[in-house]
Amino acid sequence: MSPRNSVAEARRTRQRIVERGIALASCDGLEGLTIGRLAAELKMSKAGVLGHFGTKEALQLATLEGAAAAFSRLVWEPAADVEPGLPRLRAVCEAWIAYLDLDAGRAVFPGGCFFTTASIEFDARGGPVREAVARMSRVWRRRLAAEVRTAVAAGDLPADTDPDQVVFELIGLFMALNQEIQLFAAPDATDRTRRALDRLLGPRRERPAI
C-alpha cells in the first residue's frame, strides 16, 4: 500500500471511529465513550482505536467536533441559502425540529440532542471537554442572535427586541422539545414547539411576491 493510500485509509478509519462515537455518546454521554467499547463496536483492537487519538479526552474532543459538524450539516446548512433574518431563523428552527424528531437526525444522533446531553453531563465539571462544549454552544448562540438582529433591522421583529433574550428562549424551547421527545415520547411535541415559536417570533406569513 502506498503512503498516500495509507493516509487515506487512516482518515477513513478515524472518521468511522468518530461517527460511531457520536452515535454512542448521544445515548450514553461522552463519559460512556471508551476506547474498549468503540473497539468492540467496530471490531478493532483497543490499540487500533487508541492509535488515532491517544487518550480518552482526545477521543471525546474529536467526537464533539464531529458532532458539531453533523449538527451544522443537519440544522444550519438546509437554511443557509434562505433570506437572512426572520426567514432564515424560521428555516433553522424547522431544521432543528427535524434534527430532533425525524429519521435524518436520529440516524446520526439516535439518543436525541447530542449537545443537550453533553451540556448537562459537563456543566458542573472543569477541563477541556467542558470548555469545548461551552465554546460550541456560544458559537451557535451568536449565530442565532445575528439572525435576530437582522430580522430587527428588516422590521420583521419589533425594534425593542432583545436578541440575547430571544436566543435564551429558543435554546430553552428546543431543550424542552428534546425532553418531550426523548423522555415522554409526546406525540404533540413538535406542534407545541411550533406554537411556541409563533408566540416568540410572530405568526408565520408568506412574503408578498415582488
- The 10s digit of each residue's pLDDT in 47-93 is 999 999 999 999 999 999 999 999 999 999 999 999 999 999 999 99
C-alpha span between 138 and 106 (Å, rounded): 24
User: Is residue 188 packed enough to be buried (19+ CB in 10 Å), middle (13-18) or exposed (0-12)?
Assistant: exposed
Is residue 3's pLDDT more than 70?
no
* 53 grid coordinates: 487519538
Confidence of residue 107 (pLDDT cuts 50, 70, 90): confident
Domain boundaries, the chain: 62-201
Phi, psi of 196 (to 5 degrees): -65, -40
Q: What's residue 1's pLDDT?
A: 53
Is residue 4's pLDDT more than 90?
no
* 8 grid coordinates: 487515506
- The 10s digit of each residue's pLDDT in 18-27 is 999 999 999 9
- The 10s digit of each residue's pLDDT in 142-153 is 999 999 999 999
pTM equals: 0.91
The more confidently predicted of residues 2 and 116 is 116
C-alpha span between 109 and 67 (Å, rounded): 9
C-alpha span between 16 and 53 (Å, rounded): 13
- Geometric angle at alpha carbon 135, from 129 and 140, rounded to 5°: 130
CB 109 within 8 A of CB 17: no
CB 136 within 8 A of CB 89: no
Assign domain 62-201 to a CATH class.
Answer: mainly alpha
